[in-house]
Amino acid sequence: MFDIRVIRESGDEIQSRLGDRGKEIDWKLLLQLDTERRDFVTRVEKKRHRRKIVLSEIGKLKHQGKPDNTELLQEVEKLANEIKADEALIKPTEDRLNDLLLRIPNIPHTTVPSGKDESYNEECRRWGTPPHLAFSPLPHVELGESLDILDFKRAARMSGSRFTIYKGAGARLERALINYMLDLHTQNHGYLEIIPPYLVNRAGMTGTGQLPKFESDLFYIERDDFFLIPTAEVSVTNIHREEILDSSDLPLRYVAGTPCFRREAGSYGKDTRGLIRQHQFNKVELVSFTNPEKSYDELDRLLVNVETVLQHLGLHYRVVTLCSGDMGFSAAKTYDVEVWMPVQGVFREISSCSNFETFQARRAQIKFRGSDGKTDFVHTLNGSGVAIGRTVVAILETFQQEDGSVLIPKALQPYMGGMDKIEKR
RNA sequence: GGAGAGGUGCGAGAGCGGACGAAUCGGGCGGUCUUGAAAACCGCAGUCCUUCACGGGACCGUGGGUUCGAAUCCCACCCUCUCCGCCA
């Protein structure tokens, strides 16, 4: 969330740096509400000050055993009433201002390419080569059904579209990937493993930026006012909500493998078949809290940690810098890692690594105390490390054999009980 | 779900109608001492809002109420802990 003072002082600069991202914002209204609020505040504070003085006078007289001064008592009563009335006036203005501030997206970092959609994204690098399959590869849906490791039809019967039942070696593969990634990130990359809540309250969702703007993307449990997490980013980032961290404890690095729940509102007809876009999917997520001056180094590190996963699995991928128009609401800079999907012959997002700078920290009130004793907002970052369902797709499609079996990458075999191939039972 | 206890600053923890923005300890920052460090000692220091500034104001889980006056009393709600019930 933005500091209204910054907008007050350099609103024009922010507007121009936001570019298209800020075009829905009513900047004039924002400043007007700000002025209004400050006028209210100043007025009320003057009255409160006067009230304090009168009150201490009354206290003094009481102590000296003197009779009540009705004039003073009357003044205090009058002030109390006025203050109450003024406060009632401030509240709606404050709420409106706050709501507007919460709807302003983050400012893109200066190194972010500007552009309105994904066609303006910039490819940074590619790793590996596409597999050369001497036969025409089957899509993961057919492959999964013929191997009897994925069942979309029965899942739809109980839960509707965008749900899947994993069976046998399919379930094992999913679980193996989660365990493999968690082990890699905890043992080799220095992240602390977390199992967070999957249900989060409104304040938590507001902290990371899902609310108030994207409520329709979330599954919501009305009875208890809970939301299902769309990513572990939400619960893991909120671990330190309303805390002042010790600078010497930074960076804090966490990893969590959790299910994620997304309503996918507005994506009807998009990726309807298969594992690509599900209402429920597993993801291993990396989250970092850093000192402000270290956060872009941390973003690079995060990206390397993510790439390591794909390299060990032998999956062809590329890294893309998202342009301003393709970035998420809360991000200042985002790299997407896209894995090669042989059947469609395209790269598909399998990880998204972002630096949020102070955007989430402001919303969630996450600060640190520096060596000078002063407090400031931390920078938060996160990246998928990586999305499990899409990794399953990439593995099935990349390592399939002409006979319909699928080879298991070496790195994964220990997690599959030594299995090196998935075959028809 | 029932009964009880509690939620105070970076952390621990006192305060239980006015002089309390809050004792004390720990941690932090600055200094003295030391070749350096530790220890010891001295000093500084909550967070936020508002003001060009001086200053002013708010904040002791949240929201109401009582009172001239509330961290302190009352009510509701939220959260935590203990016991019971239920359950994995």
Are the beta carbons of A247 and A299 closer than 8 angstroms?
no
CB contact set of A214 (below 8 Å; sequence gap of 6+):
A329
Structure tokens belonging to residue A351: 């990880």
| Res A59: pLDDT | 77
- Average pLDDT (A175-194) is 97
The span from the CA of A193 to the CA of A306, in Å, is 16
Q: How far is the CA of A225 from the C1' of B77 (A)?
A: 14
pLDDT(A142) > 90: yes
Question: Which of A17-26, A103-112, A144-153, A174-183 is least confident?
Answer: A17-26
Q: Give me the A residues in range 55-114 that sit within 7 A (CB) of strand B.
A: 55, 58-59, 62-63, 73, 76-77, 80
CB neighbours of residue A299 within 10 Å: 24
Nucleotides of B under 7 A from a protein CB: 10-11, 18-19, 27-30, 45, 47-51, 55-58, 68-69
* Predicted pLDDT at A119: 95
Distance from first CA to last CA of chain A, Å, rounded? 54
* Amino acid letter, residue A373: G
Place of tokens 């919303």: A363
Architecture of domain A4-102 in CATH?
A: Orthogonal Bundle (1.10)
Catalytic residues of A: 262, 277, 349, 352, 390
Q: Is the pLDDT of residue A247 over 80?
A: yes
Confidence of residue A150 (pLDDT cuts 50, 70, 90): very high
Q: Are A323 and A112 in contact (CB under 8 A)?
A: yes
Strand order in the sheet with A199-200: A199-200, A226-228, A220-221
Q: How far apart are CA A173 and CA A251, in angstroms?
A: 32
Q: What is the DSSP letter of A298?
A: H
Question: Residues A343-369: what's their mean pLDDT?
Answer: 93
- Ranges in chain A annotated CATH 3.30.930.10: 118-422
Q: Is the CB of A52 under 7 A from strand B?
A: yes
Residue A248 CA distance to nucleotide B44 C1' (Å): 21
Asked if ipTM goes beyond 0.90, one says: no
Query: Is nucleic acid strand B under 7 Å from A49's C-beta?
Result: yes
**What dihedral do alpha carbons A208, A212, A214, A216 form, nearest 10°?**
130
Give the closest residue to A283 by CA, choosing from A262, A300, A312, A314.
A262
| CA-based nearest residue to A188, from A385, A382, A354 | A385
What Å value separates CA A223 and C1' B1? 17
CA of A195, C1' of B23: distance in angstroms: 40
Q: What is the largest CA-CA distance in chain A?
A: 103
> What's chain A's Rg over C-alpha atoms?
27
CA–CA separation, A33 vs A100, rounded Å? 10
Q: Residue A312 in contact with residue A184, Cβ under 8 Å?
A: yes
pLDDT band at A9 (very low <50, low <70, confident <90, very high): confident
The class level of CATH for A118-422 reads alpha beta
